[in-house]
Amino acid sequence: MKILELCLSPDLGGLELYALRSARALQAAGDEVLTVCSTEGRLRGKLAEEGLESVPFRNGWRPLPLLAARRLAALIDREGIEVIHLHWGKDLPLAALAKRFSQRKPALVYTRQMQLTRAK
């Protein structure tokens, strides 16, 4: 299966490390995994250390990410993605729109992480 791990959080804490562990485990299980991470985030460096494939991505206007969703949909179609696995609630609008714009219509899997009531 071809899986896109989506985590655009700029931080490197539990949520981002969970995305890293998910990518590692899915790849070890025989799936093809491509992780899309923030251009400003620290996750990309960790993925590179582990030898995991990643694509830096910039999500322009987060409330309604139409242009970014079209770019992500093009990546989904080009790479033959079957499943989008996301971890951060703020990435959900982007993932849903990208699915809508994609010719492939990949399944969306959202692993909800704990919600903090205060800023990190």
Determine the average pLDDT of the residues in 68-93.
Answer: 95
Q: Which residues contact 28 (CB under 8 A, 6 or more apart)?
A: none
Q: Who has greater pLDDT, 117 or 3? A: 3
Distance CA 31, CA 66 (A): 29
40: left (phi over 0), alpha (psi -120 to 50) or beta: alpha
Q: Which residues contact 47 (CB under 8 A, 6 or more apart)?
A: 20, 23, 35, 37, 53, 54
Give pTM, 2 decimals. Answer: 0.88
- At 86 the three-state DSSP class reads strand
- At 50 the three-state DSSP class reads coil
Nearest to 19 by CA among 7, 31, 2, 32: 7
Determine the average pLDDT of the residues in 80-106.
Answer: 95
- Average pLDDT taken over every residue of the chain: 91
Per-residue pLDDT band for 62 (boundaries 50, 70, 90) equals low
Per-residue pLDDT band for 3 (boundaries 50, 70, 90) equals very high
- At 70 the three-state DSSP class reads helix
Q: What is the CATH number of domain 2-110?
A: 3.40.50.2000
Nearest to 59 by CA among 29, 31, 37: 37
